[in-house]
Every structure is written in structure tokens, then in C-alpha cells.
Structure 1
Amino acid sequence: MVNAIFCAHGQLAGAMLDSVRMVYGDVRVSAVAFAPEENVEDIAAKLEKLVSAHGNEEWLIAVDLQCGSPWNAAAGLAMKNPLLRVISGLSLPLALELVDNQETMSAEALCDHLTTIASQCCVVWRQPETIEEDF
């Protein structure tokens, strides 16, 4: 079992968790918001409190932006905790896949899987070209 946290700017993490619950009901995921008056240390303290409550278990923190404050806070914790992984690009498809696989995959395998899913989720719809045929 991989414990999971969504962490993002503003209310995105909580909204993402609400959306995931619409599909799966109650899930083992926490949400950490990054408020405008907070800094990296504030986020890190929130994340550390959640992680330390579960001892020596694997964790995956999904953040919205690489190199943003949630990323920096989570990555700082991951540097000190080999059981913690961080992935950026939090989206509904990524969040659903995370929840769908958190009980059957290791944190490392889940990160690999989510990276593949993320690359498949961005699709552009284009108007099909019409071909006129001579009759």
C-alpha cells in the first residue's frame, strides 16, 4: 500500500480529492493546500506531519508543478526519506490512476506507471480533413 498526498497551489489539491471521491468514494489520500500567505517551510511541515503519522510506509506526493513551492517542500522531505516519492503534473487522470493502483504497486512502480499515463493523457482533438472525391 502506497499512502498518497495531493499537494498544490490554492485549493487544487482539495478539489482534486473531491473529484477522485466522486469516482471512488472514500480513498486513502490526503490533500494539502498551499495558501498565498504560506511558504515552503509551511508546506513541508504539513506534509511531514502526515508522513510521520504512518511510520515506515511508502508515500507518493503528487504535486501540481515541478519546481513550485509544493514540489520543493515535498522534494526536500524525499531527500531525507527513501520511502517517499514525488511526482508532478497532478491531473484527474493521474489522480485516478494513482488511487486505482496504490494498493497493488510499490511507490517506484506507481511513479513509472503514472509517468506513462501522464504522457497518454494530453490529446488534441482536430477537425478531420474532408476528402472530396470525383465521381
Structure 2
Amino acid sequence: MIGVVICTHGAAGRGLVQAAEMICGQQAHLAVVSYEMGETTEALRQQINKSFASFEPLSEIFVLTDIKGGTPFNVMVDIIRDAPQYRLVSGVNLPMLLELFINRDNLGLDALTDKVLASGQKGIYQYTVSNEDADEDF
């Protein structure tokens, strides 16, 4: 099994996990790290390292952060820079998380990363009303 660490500003990660677990069920080997207002980057680094250590028997970890260039992302980059057994993807959304939870037991890191990225992109959609839609039931 591939471990999962979700690191976001505030409670965003916890909310996404709660929603995903409503659909996929409770997940093992999962850590959510929240970067709180006023927290130092060193304190965040310690939380992340502790979450990684909790996965000791696992060799591969998939990491999701909220935004590229944000503190959670930057600290993760610094920690995993030279570690090929980790994957880091930013821009976490619920479709990505569902894809990850569903497939992390069946796919390797590279294939899983491709699926997670594709699901995240496909999950972004703009609905526009047209005259043809007016009479349809959804």
C-alpha cells in the first residue's frame, strides 16, 4: 500500500479527507497535516516528518498539497527533494483524492500519479445552461 500525506493551509485537507471517506470509506496509512496561521515552517516540518515516520513499514508515499508555491508545498519540496519514493502533487481536489484512495493499492507511483492528475483536471468543469438543457431532468 502507498501511504498518503495531505498538507494544506488550515483545515482544508481535513475537510477533503472527510468528504472522500464518506464515499470511499475510512482510509489506512493516511496523515493530514495542517499548516495553521502563525505556525513556523520548522513546526510544520516537524509535523510532516512525524507523519512520514508513522509510515515506517511503507516505502512509497503520495503527497498532496493545496497550492504550488505555498508554505506546505515549499516545505514538502525541501523534505522530499532527493527521495524517489515520494510523489508530490499540488492543487488537491476531491476528484484527485477519490482517485488516489481507489487506486493506491493497485498501481505504482508513476501510474497512480498520472491517474490522479487526470482526475483532478477532469473534475474541473463549468456547467452552462442552454435552451436544450431547460427541458432535461438531471
Match of 1:120 among 119, 122, 134: 122
Q: CA RMSD in A?
A: 1.5
The 2-side partners of 1:47 and 1:5 are apart by 8
Contact 1:6 1:31 in 2 (8 A): yes
Give the CA deviation at 1:34: 0.7
Scaled by the length of structure 1, what TM-score is found? Answer: 0.88
Counterpart residue identity of residue 7, structure 1: C
Give the CA deviation at 1:54: 2.6
| 58-67 or 22-31, which deviates more | 22-31
| 5-14 or 42-51, which deviates more | 42-51
Contact 1:39 1:69 in 2 (8 A): no
The 1-side partners of 2:52 and 2:102 are apart by 20
- The equivalent of 1:96 in structure 2 is 98
Match of 1:72 among 66, 71, 74: 74
- The equivalent of 1:133 in structure 2 is none
Aligned to 2:111, what secondary structure does the other structure show? Answer: helix
Say whether residues 1:38 and 2:33 are aligned partners: no
Aligned length: 130
| 15-24 or 59-68, which deviates more | 15-24
Aligned to 1:128, what secondary structure does the other structure show? Answer: coil
Q: Who wins on radius of gyration, i.e. which is larger?
A: 1
Give structure 2 stretches of 5+ with no counterpart.
Answer: 133-138
